[in-house]
A and B are shown apart, each in its own frame.
Chain A
Amino acid sequence: MRFRQITPSDPKATKVEEMVDSAFGFYGAPYWRWKYASPEAPPGIIVIAEADEDVVGCSHYVSANYHLGGETRIEALFGGDLLVAPELRRQHIATELSLRSREIAVAQRPEARVVTMYTWRALGAHYEELLGYTRLKPGFAQWSKRLNWDAGVKAVLAGNEALIRSFPRLETADHGFRLELSGSPPLDFDVGEEGFIPGRKKKARVTIKVDDVGLAGGGAKARLASGLLKAFVTGRIRVTGSPRALWGLILVRGAYQRVLATLRKA
């Protein structure tokens, strides 16, 4: 396997752009061109991994002068857009690509003092273990608000009513359900043999509090499948009116998963 730096005008750059586009969707090709190929952008570093002249992986770095608080500044390399062809994953190519591309980037930017990256925790743990990275304490929170709620989210739910209704054991549930998704108006349903019916009249109530991160990352689903009790103890699930509502929730937790998974797509 060969690792080398290319420019955005290199014939192999087209393949890199395709890889990024297929992997990152919304943040794909237009972002790649903006970051690495637009004339106003600071010069980026694009490193490819080649096997038999085919591009099988890519890694990127952008130069930046970081402010570090007060008057302190430092030259940095921001790494990202690391990809390996799907058929070649789980062969440690990404680790090798990370190391080799960092060597190339450091040689290109001798003034740089740190390398940073923004990634998922699972991949970040890999970087901590193998490459000596440190995870920074976050200095910010992400604030959000759901918009066009009625038109968007409820329409998606309505379209999935049949799926939800067909779930077994719903006839045993008899309670109201309020979903408190952070940054959104609460959603109320009656849960029973008819499924999840918008609006709430039943007295016993299950309330589930989910933040946007939990919903987007599938945390809500995981909590319902394996951490129901934990969610109850920590207050993310509240039950009022009758303990039977909690039993109802346990019985139809699969249907709840379906509702939350549907909302995640909205």
Chain B
Amino acid sequence: MTTGGPTLPKTRLALPEDDAALADIFNRAHQHLAGHVTRSAADLSWRVRGQPGMSPDGAFVAEDEDGRHIGYAFIKENGDVIEFAVDPTADRKAAASALITACEDHATREGAVRMRLNVPLDDQEVAEALSEAGLAAARPEARHYITAIDPGTLLQTLLDQLPDRPIRFDLSLTDSHPWQSSTTSIARSVAVDVEPEFIVEGDQRSLNDVILGGRSPWRALLMRKVRVIPASRAPRAVRLLRRVAIDAPWFYHLGDIL
């Protein structure tokens, strides 16, 4: 007698010739996240397949009924799933279930005492699949730290990636290090002889918090961590900072923590 559960997609070993398709899945699945390196086939070859403890029989790809790649997982001999991605357009829960089953079988055979992997907090479908497979989530740990090498240059780089916004302002760093400019003129799409509209002033950590750490610019202003001169330009400065600030959740796989 057979039981009536849903049929999971089939999995097989992922071969190097699959890597271009796997990198494409990774990049689409992680489009809304921050803090990872965009994958290419060559990158998968070194970053994932080349890691110590990673063997070819720990690489799995899930396929749908038409043989299309819908997800993949790389698990090391110690049970660390160093990369795990599911196609955003596929039946993600089913693909995740198939892949985690393949990983668990492999890790059990290898004698690992624990299997673990990182999953974005907003990925409910994969979370459900893992929960049903008996995995449990630990409390998220904040152990990733970041600093701008030079906040002015960083702001300029981020502004340059916006499609519009002609504006000029100065950024004044109150605790600059030897490798930083204390004042940076942020000029974009305007002549350099145009007077700055305003000055944003703050210390390194406060500016990091606003530009990279997802902290509210308004809150930074109210707490007097960041100043806008003249104060009447604060709404415009806040709108600008909000546009360039990194608000995507930071995510990295176990294999990304080099």
Contacts and interface: CB of A to CB of B under 8 A. Distances in A.
A121 B143 contact: yes
* Chain B interface, >50% SS class: loop
A134 to B, nearest CB: 4
A127 B143 CA distance: 11
B149 A113 contact: yes
Given A133-B205, A152-B113, A141 B145 contact: no
Given A140-B119, A144-B135, A135 B145 contact: yes
Given A74-B157, A113-B157, A147-B108, A133 B34 contact: no
Q: Which 4 pairs of residues, A with B, have the shortest CB-CB distance?
A: A69-B248, A139-B249, A182-B136, A132-B204
B114 A35 contact: no
**Most B CB atoms within 10 A — which of A35, A72, A107?**
A72
B118 A69 contact: no
Interface stretch (A58-66, A188-196, A223-231, A240-248): A58-66
A73 B177 CA distance: 25
B40 to A, nearest CB: 11
B50 A34 contact: yes
Given A118-B144, A213-B141, A147 B107 contact: yes
Nearest to A148: B113
Nearest to A217: B141
Nearest to A75: B157
A139 B34 CA distance: 9
Given A38-B50, A144-B136, 8 more contacts: A31-B52, A69-B31, A69-B34, A69-B246, A114-B146, A143-B130, A145-B115, A147-B113
A222 interface: no
A69 B33 contact: yes
Interface stretch (B8-16, B58-66, B207-215, B232-240): B207-215
B231 interface: no
B192 interface: no
Given A66-B37, A114-B147, A136 B213 contact: yes
Interface residues of A, number: 67
Contacts of A68: 34-35, 246, 248
B213 to A, nearest CB: 4
Given A31-B52, A38-B46, A114 B136 contact: no
B50 A142 contact: no
15 contacts: A34-B50, A64-B37, A112-B149, A114-B149, A115-B147, A119-B145, A128-B145, A136-B250, A138-B141, A139-B249, A139-B250, A147-B113, A147-B114, A152-B113, A212-B114
B116 A143 contact: yes
A133 B145 contact: yes
Contacts of A182: 136-138
A67 B37 contact: yes
A113 B153 contact: yes
* Chain A interface, >50% SS class: mixed
Contacts of A40: 42, 45-46, 50
A71 interface: yes
Nearest to A64: B37
Nearest to A125: B145
A113 B248 contact: no
B36 A67 contact: yes
A116 interface: yes
B121 A145 contact: no
Interface in B107-162: 107-108, 111-121, 127, 130, 133-150, 153-154, 157-158, 161
B249 A140 contact: yes
A107 B179 CA distance: 9
**Most A CB atoms within 10 A — which of B42, B133, B157?**
B157
Contacts of A70: 31-32, 248
Interface string A100-116: 00110011000011111
Contacts of B227: none
Contacts of A148: 108, 111-113
